[in-house]
Amino acid sequence: MNIDVLDKFYLGNGGIGDALLFLSTFYDDVEEANIIFLANNTAPIKELFSYFPKIKKKLIIQNNFIYLQELYHHPNCIGTGILPKNLDYSNWYKVDIFKEYGVKEFPEFMNLFEPHREFDKQIVMQTNGSQIEGFQKQRILLPSTQEKIETEFKEYSIQTIPLYNHRPLKEIFQMIRGSDIVISVDSFAKTVSAMSKIKTIVYDNIYDPEYLKKFKDEIDYGHYVFCFNPPWSYIEFRSQNK
């Protein structure tokens, strides 16, 4: 991959939640920045970065680990966001993302999205997420879990958002930021709300037990980045069973 013509850049990869954590490591503190982002899904990531005026040059391509390795070691790479050291994801085990990666829990850039409220008592619920691991790790809210949520929060108007919806991302961000509570099974909605100091309930994914055996303590390393250790101030983590 020939990228020698590019200026100094910040490097990240993943989905919208990853992109927000990536941005939090530098965006508030620079006058302008160039980025390269290897996206799980390029369209929403391109839309997301279009809302950040200090990002000047950007290259957004499909996630590819070989490209990621090359870019990670490129001399023009000046920041790697939440990427683990040497791209070894076991380094996420019990990581303190605020101290080790410079993640801002409450970045100022969230003010780019004006809160919008449609109901007096409003909940946003994200019922699914990306399925890049296939059926070993399913980012879904089970129907039984959704029924429990509807019973527990029956006095609220619950607005359900799928992973990718036809509304502009900016509108979804505004709706999340205007809510009393956000419930999510994916990093997208929960990252917007937790960064906005909104009560956030994150439900665990549905795992094949064999999948979890490859992790220390059989805990998905992503939890240490997106949910706890150190705990995000506004996140309550819950489990769901089949």
Beta-bridge mates of residue 201: 183, 236
Q: How far apart are CA 187 and CA 164, in angstroms?
A: 13
Interval 109-120 mean pLDDT: 96
Q: What pLDDT band is residue 4 in, cutting at 50, 70 and 90?
A: low
pLDDT attached to residue 132 = 64
Q: What pLDDT band is residue 7 in, cutting at 50, 70 and 90?
A: confident
Q: Parallel, antiparallel, or unpaired for β 137-138 and 206-207?
A: antiparallel
What domains are there in the chain, each with its CATH number? 9-107 (no CATH), 122-238 (3.40.50)
With CA atoms as reference, report the closest residue to 89 among 203, 228, 215, 185.
215
Query: Each residue of 20-38: pLDDT tens digit?
Result: 999 999 999 999 999 999 9
Interval 94-114 mean pLDDT: 97
Of the chain, the end-to-end C-alpha distance in Å amounts to: 43
Phi first, then psi, for residue 215 (nearest 5°) are -105, 145
Interval 118-137 mean pLDDT: 84
Average pLDDT, the chain: 92
What are all long-range contacts of 213-222, with beta carbons under 8 Å and residues at least 24 apart?
215/93, 216/90, 216/93, 220/137, 221/89, 221/90, 221/92, 221/93, 222/92, 222/187
Q: Does the model's pTM come out above 0.75?
A: yes
pLDDT attached to residue 62 = 95
For residue 230, whether the previous peptide bond is cis, meaning omega lies within 30 degrees of 0, is yes
Instruction: Check whether 99 has a pLDDT greater than 70.
Output: yes
pLDDT attached to residue 18 = 96
Residues 6+ apart with CB under 8 A from 7: 34, 57, 76
Alpha helices in 73-158 (DSSP H): 97-100, 143-152
Rounded to the nearest 10 degrees, what angle do helices 16-24 and 42-49 cross at? 30
